[in-house]
Amino acid sequence: MEVVHVELGARRYPIYVGAGCLSELGTRLGEMGCGVRMAVVTNSTVAGHYLEPALVSLRRAGFDPATIQIPDGEEHKNLAMLSRIYDQLIEAGIERSGALVALGGGVVGDLTGFAAATYLRGVACVQVPTTLLAQVDSSIGGKTGVNHVLGKNLIGAFSQPRFVLADVETLRTLPPRELTAGLAEVIKYGVILDAPLFALLEDRIADVQALDRELLVEVVRRCCAIKASVVSADETESGLRAVLNFGHTVGHGIESITGYTRYLHGEAVAIGMVAAARVSRQLGLCGEPDVERVRSVLARCGLPTEVPAELRGEALARAMRADKKARAGAIKFVCLETIGTTRFERLSPEDIVKYL
């Protein structure tokens, strides 16, 4: 098992990455020192595969876990579901000393993290991500929250987990489309901050998709290390952390105007990364070969790389303007300089749309 640390002073925490490490959940929680009564929050799909192994590991370590199941799907990441989680935490008798374990993907992680941040003014949270996207991105860094009908993640808190436990074996039950969507974020890390990782992915993307165990641990660990270093340097996204938004400005816009149903997040980000690379080239910041390398590896994964014609123009600009990261009309847009290097440019949504 590999360990990466998120360096945040007194709130420093480890990310464990391994193949088969779910069985160590109880031991790791035991080392943390929380109350015996705690809760596992998961969804109906993940529960069928991994709830029992998680509970066995927790009980063997002396814990008395309650289980809270939520329905599967992003549409349940809202205040109403959060309210139901609070109800069940109270009914289960979870006290301030208790911990919440988020067992699942990004929706479970974001909801559970926010519930933990706000139940009894804060109880401990542990993230056990079971999707590639959650393992390399959403489980790390303490962004928690729920969606509002007027926008995603408009309600939430920065609240760090006590540890993250990423078992790559859980990816074997992930639908192939979700695995591929997660790869978009993996590729993003290479593009923005790690040229050798990008080259490794260009070389072995088929082996990653075939779930080569050793390669998966290596790739997930490297992504976690990049995310950890960015979060350590800028916990609340006041500056540097925004580099992680590469591809997300256009990606979020596309997700928004297609009602979050047509594309998975990673698919929209794949389109957004190619768009960001093209905007960068139009601004003279990077060359055509780099744009093509980004597009090519995404396409080989089977990810979409083009903004559909019917989504271009004013609707997309309006959606980007509504994003919570817009400040006074201008967007802090992450541009590509070369593979592994980016820079920020203040662009208007209209400029971005124009360059696509």
Structure tokens belonging to residue 98 = 């208790």
Between CA 126 and CA 116 the distance in angstroms is: 9
Q: Which is nearer to a copy of itself, 79 or 210 (CB)?
A: 79
Residue 237 designated active-site: yes
Per-residue CA distances from 177 to 59, 83, 133, 143, 206 (Å)? 34, 31, 12, 24, 14
Residue 143 designated active-site: yes
Q: Which residue has the tokens 């193949």?
A: 19
CB 155 → a copy of itself: shortest distance, Å? 5
Q: Which of 185, 218, 235, 255 is catalytic?
A: 185
Q: Which of 28, 76, 248, 281 is catalytic?
A: 248
Q: Which is nearer to a copy of itself, 11 or 177 (CB)?
A: 11
Task: Please answer whether residues 291 and 274 qualify as being in contact, where contact means their C-beta atoms are separated by less than 8 angstroms.
Answer: yes
Residue 241 designated active-site: yes
CB 92 → a copy of itself: shortest distance, Å? 12
Q: Which is nearer to a copy of itself, 149 or 309 (CB)?
A: 149
Between CA 215 and CA 16 the distance in angstroms is: 16
Q: Which of 76, 162, 227, 278 is catalytic?
A: 227
CB 176 → a copy of itself: shortest distance, Å? 32
Structure tokens belonging to residue 29 = 């929680």
CB 141 → a copy of itself: shortest distance, Å? 11
CB 325 → a copy of itself: shortest distance, Å? 8
Between CA 140 and CA 135 the distance in angstroms is: 8
Residue 245 designated active-site: yes
Between CA 133 and CA 178 the distance in angstroms is: 8
CB 122 → a copy of itself: shortest distance, Å? 6
What's the one-letter identity of residue 99?
A
Q: Which of 252, 278, 293, 295 is catalytic?
A: 252
Which residues, at least 6 apart from 210, have a Cβ–Cβ distance to it below 8 Å?
none
Contact residues for a copy of itself, defined by CB under 8 A: 79, 83, 86-87, 90, 95-97, 114, 117-122, 143-145, 148, 150-151, 153-158, 236, 324-328
Q: How far separated are the first and last CA of the chain, in Å rounded?
A: 43
Residue 121 designated active-site: yes
Residue 49 designated active-site: no
Q: Which CB contacts under 8 angstroms, 24+ apart, belong to 172-176?
A: 172/211, 173/49, 174/130, 174/131, 174/132, 176/209
Between CA 204 and CA 210 the distance in angstroms is: 10
Q: Which is nearer to a copy of itself, 129 or 145 (CB)?
A: 145
Q: Which is nearer to a copy of itself, 85 or 208 (CB)?
A: 85
Q: Which of 76, 143, 152, 295 is catalytic?
A: 143
Residue 324 designated active-site: no
Q: Which is nearer to a copy of itself, 50 or 119 (CB)?
A: 119
Residue 262 designated active-site: no
The catalytic residue positions are 121, 143, 185, 227, 237, 241, 245, 248, 252, 265
